[in-house]
């Protein structure tokens, strides 16, 4: 399994270094790789049963509980077969389809990587690993959807899908981490064996909702469905692959995978079935009024995804059996139809329903293929689709609780599907020839192999579904249910309730189709009603939200990053003093036992001098006065140091103060005079802020005096200064002996500053920036 | 005396912050100097004031009289020197800035590149 992933990765990279003659055949080569992988999985079908699965465990970072785990059970098998099987056909089809475009190397690189990511996803046995593959599919699909990046609509659609699936993916990660914390593991097997602990934990509901957000966005469930029709901007092979076997099916896969762990609760059943029903209806209802071939198909995909989600939500043996079968049915007909739609666009130059018609004359083989696929989509016998619909009805009839409502909505949605399928066939292939921009033909065998094989599969498997049921669907069903269940598929179930429902659906669907065909105005009115009733377009809402988000971010940046330096400082100071004042308030009851005294008087006098000098320095308009009074304050402080036994400090302070004054004086003549730049109001505001900060610092100083620090470090220095370092001046010994390395750092800083000053002052003026 | 010196610390901070909030770059630098002086004094003060007995020790003599705490002094000494480095460097930078732009107004400095 791991080797297959590695082969996929290296094959995608190899494209770029293939020699010229081989490069022309790259699509065939990649198709062959896919086919080989398909055969590999097919050969293991008999091995993977309800009782047996394969798994591989590779240690990666075991300390963090991160390991590579791969598992191949019935469910993975279903998806692996679809990914590689349809992949092989899609690559074959893309060979002809992409011939006329530039940049096909890149295209096939992305497509191969995408397929590998999807395969990795379905084979993951560890949820973090699964998430990584999940995000990979999102990212790569961004490049695939935006392949025609010169078109703005393609870029927009790609971004839209990236944002939505990316958002979902992240919330899914949060959900995985949340639930992973319950069992302290991200390994799926651990989750499975602790399923009850997860379900009973408080984190179950938030975790479930977060994971469902990921699943619903990926699988285009209502109300996130709108990205999927947008994604039809992608080239047809991509759409075909994206809609049938990959990307949107990733959500379905995860839902099925987690069903034995998280399923079976009322939350699970109601949230998921409700979302599924809504999506199902939305898809089929809007499919009717589409006029773009790919648009119709995109909305029918939404319908199918809704059906799958609904079935997994109902969570009974019947419903999951139906879901697994429907996966195949939908993959077959949807891949076929997208390929056909791409073919029609290529050959006629249009995808518009109104411009098409009578294509049966030009493309008879295509018609047969498309017709089979459409019959399967409509659920008519004897195709696989009929079988699926029967099973789905059966599941809905037997679904607990809300059966009747689900049944009615399901039948309604299927009526739409029948009508859409017939309408599609009639409008495109029958009737008068449309006015095509190009004269159509049916050349290019590779175009038809893919859809042809899939359409035939729909027919053959529809007639003899037994093997598919027992060999593939049964193990998958067991994997999803967590217990072994029998699967016997057959086409004829006898005259029962389900059969009559089927008949009813077909008849009503046919009537709707006739009405649509005879009364052209019906669709026009329908569309008008839709425009009024569903005036709010979700993709427009999404674009609006994104626009506003960007606007708010810009506004925020502009407000916070306004560019006024002093206002930044003001913000910092105000917040600091508020915090300090708050702290003062909290600890307001404290004993202060130092008496107030003016003795010794000369120190009090000195303090007064410092205070006066500082005040003068702050308000003076003259530069000289400001600087000199600053110097006075500095010298005053050095005298205080001197009196209170800090000789070294006093010396240093005097030297520094002198140097600063000299420096100021030296450049003062080159600097402008003070101008009155601020208004009186501003100055008052700044003064109040400064006073607030200063007074809280006074309180802080008093508190600091009051605190009795543990003097052990100081005592250590006092005791050992002479004994160990042979120095009498303890402060000096600390600086040059005990903490010599710190002083070295300090010297380095000063040197750097000195070099900087030298460079700044010596640079010739002509070299200014 | 601690109370008076605490008031001096507060006043130095007040002047420092007030000058930091000016638009003139020169005043801003003077504000920096006041801030650094205030902080030095604060740290020095917090160790407690011991007049007339600096931390000098001699061979054999135990710690009989209470000496001034050498640790905050060492810290403040470092801080004074680093403060000098900062002030001198900003002053040179300011000089260059004025030479290049011809303004002393911080509000003219809104963009990172012109």
Q: How far is CA B74 from the centre of its chain?
A: 15
Residue B92 pLDDT more than 60? yes
For A36, half-sphere exposure in the C-beta direction (CA atoms, 13 angstrom radius) is: 13
Residue A473 pLDDT more than 90? no
Q: Which residues of A touch B44 (CB under 8 A)?
A: 641, 644, 646, 649
Non-local (6+) Cβ contacts of A269 within 8 A are: A313, A314, A315, A400, A401
Nearest by CB to B91, from A646, A667, A686: name it.
A667
Q: Which residues of B touch A710 (CB under 8 A)?
A: none
pLDDT digits (tens, 9 = 90+) for A398-416: 776 666 778 888 888 888 8
Q: What token pair was written down for A260?
A: 């034995």
| The predicted structure's pLDDT at residue A566 | 83
Residue B43 pLDDT more than 80? yes
Nearest by CB to A734, from B70, B85, B107: name it.
B70
Pairwise CB contact (< 8 Å): B57 & A722: yes
What value does the mean pLDDT of chain B take?
A: 84
The dihedral formed by the CA atoms of A551, A555, A560 and A562, expressed in degrees to the nearest 10: 120
| The predicted structure's pLDDT at residue A121 | 93
Percentage with pLDDT > 90 across chain B: 39
Residue A572 pLDDT more than 70? yes
Non-local (6+) Cβ contacts of A301 within 8 A are: A220, A228, A243, A248, A283, A330, A334
- What is the SS3 assignment for A126? strand
- The predicted model gives A408-431 an average pLDDT of 86
| The predicted structure's pLDDT at residue B9 | 94
Non-local (6+) Cβ contacts of B23 within 8 A are: A566, A677, A678, B105, B106, B107
Non-local (6+) Cβ contacts of A699 within 8 A are: A584, B6
φ, ψ of residue A570 in degrees (nearest 5):
-60, -45
> pLDDT class for A138, splitting at 50, 70, 90?
very high
Rounded to whole angstroms, how far apart are CA atoms A146 and A143?
5
Q: What token pair was written down for A275?
A: 């979302």
Non-local (6+) Cβ contacts of A713 within 8 A are: B71
| The predicted structure's pLDDT at residue B63 | 53
- What is the SS3 assignment for A390? helix
Rounded to whole angstroms, how far apart are CA atoms A726 and B43?
27
pLDDT digits (tens, 9 = 90+) for A535-560: 677 778 888 888 899 999 999 988 88
Give how far B2 is from chain A: nearest CA, Å.
7
Pairwise CB contact (< 8 Å): B54 & A645: yes
| The predicted structure's pLDDT at residue B79 | 92
pLDDT digits (tens, 9 = 90+) for A503-537: 888 888 888 888 888 877 777 777 777 777 776 77
> pLDDT class for A130, splitting at 50, 70, 90?
very high
Percentage with pLDDT > 70 across chain A: 97
Non-local (6+) Cβ contacts of A350 within 8 A are: A356, A436, A437
Pairwise CB contact (< 8 Å): B77 & A749: no
> pLDDT class for A14, splitting at 50, 70, 90?
confident
- The predicted model gives A154-158 an average pLDDT of 88
Rounded to whole angstroms, how far apart are CA atoms A474 and A23?
41
> pLDDT class for A429, splitting at 50, 70, 90?
confident
Residue the block writes with tokens 């977060």: A210
Cα separation values, B36 from A753, B16, B80, B83, Å: 17, 9, 8, 7
Q: What token pair was written down for A661?
A: 């004054």
Mutate which: B18, B83, B110, vs A, most A CBs within 10 A: B18
Per DSSP, A464 falls in state -
Please indicate whether residue A471 or residue A297 has the higher confidence score (pLDDT). Answer: A297
**What domains can you pick out in chain B, each with its CATH number?**
2-49+72-108 (1.10.287)
Q: How far is CA A344 from the centre of its chain?
A: 34
Angle subtended at Cα A337 by Cα A451 and Cα A246, rounded to the nearest 5 degrees: 85
Length in residues, chain A: 769
3-state secondary structure A398-410: HCCCCHHHHHHHH
Percentage with pLDDT > 90 across chain A: 27
Rounded to whole angstroms, how far apart are CA atoms A110 and A22?
19
Give how far B4 is from chain A: nearest CA, Å.
7
Rounded to whole angstroms, how far apart are CA atoms A656 and A669?
21
pLDDT digits (tens, 9 = 90+) for A103-129: 888 899 999 999 999 999 999 988 989
Give how far B88 is from chain A: nearest CA, Å.
7
Neighbours of A274 (CB within 10 A): 17
End-to-end alpha carbon distance in chain A: 60
φ, ψ of residue A621 in degrees (nearest 5):
-90, -10
| Closest alpha carbon to B74 in A603, A647, A723, A751 | A647
């Amino acid at each position: 399994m791991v080797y297959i992933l590695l082969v996929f990765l290296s094959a995608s990279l190899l494209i770029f270094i293939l020699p010229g003659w081989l490069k022309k055949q790259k699509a065939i080569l990649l198709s062959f790789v896919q086919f080989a992988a398909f055969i590999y999985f097919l050969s293991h079908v008999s091995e993977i049963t309800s009782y047996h699965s394969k798994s591989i465990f590779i240690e990666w970072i075991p300390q963090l509980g991160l390991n590579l785990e791969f598992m191949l059970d019935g469910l993975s098998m279903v998806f692996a077969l679809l990914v590689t099987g349809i992949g092989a056909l899609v690559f074959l089809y893309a060979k002809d389809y992409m011939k006329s475009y530039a940049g096909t190397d890149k295209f096939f690189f992305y497509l191969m990587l995408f397929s590998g990511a999807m395969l990795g996803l379905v084979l993951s046995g560890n949820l973090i690993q699964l998430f990584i593959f999940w995000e990979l599919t999102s990212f790569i699909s961004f490049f695939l959807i935006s392949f025609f990046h010169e078109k703005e609509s393609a870029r927009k659609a790609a971004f839209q899908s990236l944002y939505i699936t990316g958002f979902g993916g992240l919330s899914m990660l949060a959900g995985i981490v949340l639930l992973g914390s319950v069992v302290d593991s991200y390994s799926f097997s651990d989750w499975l064996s602790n399923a009850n602990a997860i379900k009973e934990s408080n984190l179950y509901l938030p975790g479930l909702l977060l994971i469902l957000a990921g699943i619903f966005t990926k699988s285009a469930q209502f109300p996130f469905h709108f990205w999927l029709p947008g994604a039809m901007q992608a080239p047809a092979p991509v759409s075909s692959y994206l809609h049938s076997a990959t990307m949107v099916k990733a959500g379905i896969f995860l839902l099925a995978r987690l069903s034995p762990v998280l399923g079976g609760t009322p939350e699970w059943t109601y949230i998921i079935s409700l979302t599924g029903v809504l999506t199902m209806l939305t898809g089929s209802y809007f499919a009717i009024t589409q006029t773009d071939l790919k648009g119709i198909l995109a909305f029918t995909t939404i319908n199918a995804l809704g059906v799958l989600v609904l079935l997994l939500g109902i969570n009974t043996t019947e419903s999951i059996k139906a879901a697994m079968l429907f996966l195949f049915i939908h993959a077959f007909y949807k891949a076929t139809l997208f390929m056909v739609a791409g073919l029609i666009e290529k050959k006629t130059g249009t995808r518009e329903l109104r411009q098409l018609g009578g294509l049966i004359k030009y493309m008879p083989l295509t018609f047969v293929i498309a017709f089979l696929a459409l019959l399967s989509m409509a659920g008519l016998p004897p195709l696989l689709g009929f079988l699926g619909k029967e099973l789905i009805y059966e599941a809905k009839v037997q679904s607990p609780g809300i059966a009747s409502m689900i049944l009615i909505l399901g039948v309604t949605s299927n009526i739409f599907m029948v009508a859409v399928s017939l309408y599609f066939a009639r409008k495109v292939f029958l009737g008068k020839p449309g006015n095509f921009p190009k004269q159509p033909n049916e050349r290019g065998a590779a175009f038809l192999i893919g859809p042809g094989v899939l359409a035939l599969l729909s027919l053959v498997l529809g007639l003899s579904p037994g093997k598919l049921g027992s060999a593939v669907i049964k193990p998958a069903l067991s994997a999803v249910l967590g217990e072994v269940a029998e699967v016997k598929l057959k086409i004829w179930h006898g005259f029962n309730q389900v059969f009559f429902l089927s008949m009813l659906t077909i008849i009503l669907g046919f009537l709707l189709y006739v009405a649509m065909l005879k009364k052209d105005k019906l669709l026009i009115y329908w569309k008008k009603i839709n425009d009024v009733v569903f005036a709010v377009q979700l993709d427009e809402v999404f674009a609006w939200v994104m626009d506003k988000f960007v606007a708010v971010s810009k506004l925020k940046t502009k407000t916070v990053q306004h560019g006024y330096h002093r206002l930044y400082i003001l913000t910092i100071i105000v917040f600091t003093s508020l915090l300090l004042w708050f702290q003062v308030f909290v600890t307001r009851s404290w004993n202060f036992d130092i008496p107030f005294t003016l003795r010794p008087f000369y120190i009090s006098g000195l303090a007064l001098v410092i205070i006066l000098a500082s005040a003068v320095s702050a308000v003076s308009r003259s530069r000289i006065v400001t600087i000199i009074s600053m110097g006075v304050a500095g010298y005053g402080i050095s005298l205080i140091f001197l009196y209170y036994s800090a000789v070294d400090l006093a010396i240093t302070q005097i030297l520094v103060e002198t140097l600063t004054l000299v420096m100021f004086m030296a450049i003062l003549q080159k600097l402008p005079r003070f101008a009155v730049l601020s208004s009186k109001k501003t100055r008052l505001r700044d003064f109040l802020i400064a006073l607030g900060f200063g007074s809280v610092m006074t309180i802080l100083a008093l508190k600091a005096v009051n605190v009795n620090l543990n003097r052990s470090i100081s005592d250590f220095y006092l005791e050992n200064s002479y004994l160990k370092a042979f120095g009498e001046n303890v402060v000096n010994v600390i600086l040059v002996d005990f903490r010599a390395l710190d002083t070295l750092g300090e010297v380095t800083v000063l040197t750097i500053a000195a070099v900087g000053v030298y460079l700044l002052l010596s640079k010739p003026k002509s070299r200014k920036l | 005396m601690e109370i008076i010196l605490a008031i001096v610390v507060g006043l130095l901070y007040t002047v420092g912050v007030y000058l930091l909030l000016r638009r003139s770059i020169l005043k801003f630098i003077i504000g920096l100097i006041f801030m650094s002086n205030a902080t030095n004094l604060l740290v020095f003060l917090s160790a407690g004031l011991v007049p007339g007995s600096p931390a000098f020790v001699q061979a054999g003599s135990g710690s009989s009289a209470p000496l001034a705490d050498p640790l905050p002094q060492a810290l403040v000494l470092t801080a004074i020197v680093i403060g000098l480095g900062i002030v001198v460097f900003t002053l040179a930078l300011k000089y260059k800035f004025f030479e290049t732009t011809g303004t002393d107004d911080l509000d003219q400095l809104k963009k990172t590149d012109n």
